[in-house]
Amino acid sequence: MDLRLTGKTALVTGASRGIGLATVHALLGEGVRVVGAARTITPELGATDATAVAVDLTVADGPARLVDRVRSELGGLDLLVNNVGGGDTDANWTGGFLDVTDQQWSDAFDVNFFASVRTARAALPLLVEAEAGGAIVNVSSTSALTPHAGPIAYSTAKAALTAFGKALAEEVGPRGVRVNTVSPGPVRTAMWESPDGYGSQLAASLGVPHAQLLDGLPDTAGMVTGRLVEPAEVAALVAYLGSPLAASITGADHVIDGNSVKTV
């Protein structure tokens, strides 16, 4: 399917790996000019045709500096993909509420919420000027819908991001900018598969081998597909929502989770 994105411009945050890197590949494959931003530029991101920009979006002026670079590199912006998120791998996220420090709450909101808020604020003037209307896609999580299923600070920050997208869509829709949210369930990314990621920490806290936890995760999460979501599947949805084919879709939260969320 031709998404009619050839010649469009996009900024993807958290682009070094996982969903972000898959989104960079998907957009480049549709003929989009892409700036891929990440705290650290991985060899995989550097090997793409995207313009890779190293930036820490948890620093207050990071998003504004990034958008200035986008303006100089691309001359404008049609699509912002707020994918940056996750958590500090040095922090243990498997404890309960009383184990989460103020600093961990602050860090979780900085990377999973405020980074996207500030990047959207910086990018909005460019998106308003987009010839056929701009679009924002925020990557949240099904943890926002089932907060008990993830670390409490992470889930709460993602819930805030989902609410932010709904509210922003209402405000900027009359200015020609669409805002949607994508909420993946467990995805085959470093968050689950890395030996120092959340999946490994969770396995250790449960006293089971990491590989065993991953093998059983789809069933534990209630995924009727019997497997984790692939990053490319999420990226395809993001690309569609950013395209002119989705011109009437805005203010919606699109769940891609193998039916792990059972509520309507």
Q: What is the pLDDT of residue 49?
A: 98
Q: What is the pLDDT of residue 121?
A: 98
Please state, in angstroms and rounded to a whole number, the distance separating the CA atoms of residues 14 and 139: 10
Give the Å distances, CA to CA, from 254 to 141, 192, 223.
Answer: 10, 21, 16
In a domain, 261, yes or no: no
Over range 117-129, report the average pLDDT: 98
Q: What is the pLDDT of residue 230?
A: 98
Q: What is the pLDDT of residue 161?
A: 98
DSSP string, 32-70: -EEEEEESS--HHHHTSSSEEEE--TTSTTHHHHHHHHH
Which residue is catalytic, options 93, 113, 114, 154? 154
Residue 240 known to be catalytic:
no
Q: Which two tokens stand for residue 71?
A: 């303006």
Q: What is the pLDDT of residue 90?
A: 59
DSSP string, 104-148: HHHHHHIIIIIHHHHHHHHHHHHHHT-TT--EEEEE--GGGTSGG
In a domain, 263, yes or no: no
Domain of residue 209: give its range.
190-228
Q: What is the pLDDT of residue 142?
A: 97
Q: What is the pLDDT of residue 150?
A: 82
Question: For 67-84, what is each residue's pLDDT tens digit?
Answer: 999 999 999 999 999 999
In a domain, 3, yes or no: no
Residue with tokens 């989705």: 246
Residue type, 41: I
If asked whether residues 95 and 194 sit together in one domain, one would say: no
How large is the angle between the packed helices 115-128 and 152-172, nearest 10 degrees?
20
Give the Å distances, CA to CA, from 172 to 81, 136, 240.
Answer: 16, 10, 20
Question: For 172-182, what is each residue's pLDDT tens digit?
Answer: 999 999 999 99
Between 41-45, 62-66, 202-206, the lowest mean confidence (pLDDT) is in 202-206
In a domain, 180, yes or no: yes
pLDDT at 7 over 90: yes
pLDDT at 1 over 90: no
In a domain, 4, yes or no: no
What is the number of structural domains in the chain? 2
88 confidence band (pLDDT: 50, 70, 90): low
Percent of the chain having pLDDT more than 70? 98
Q: What is the pLDDT of residue 50?
A: 98
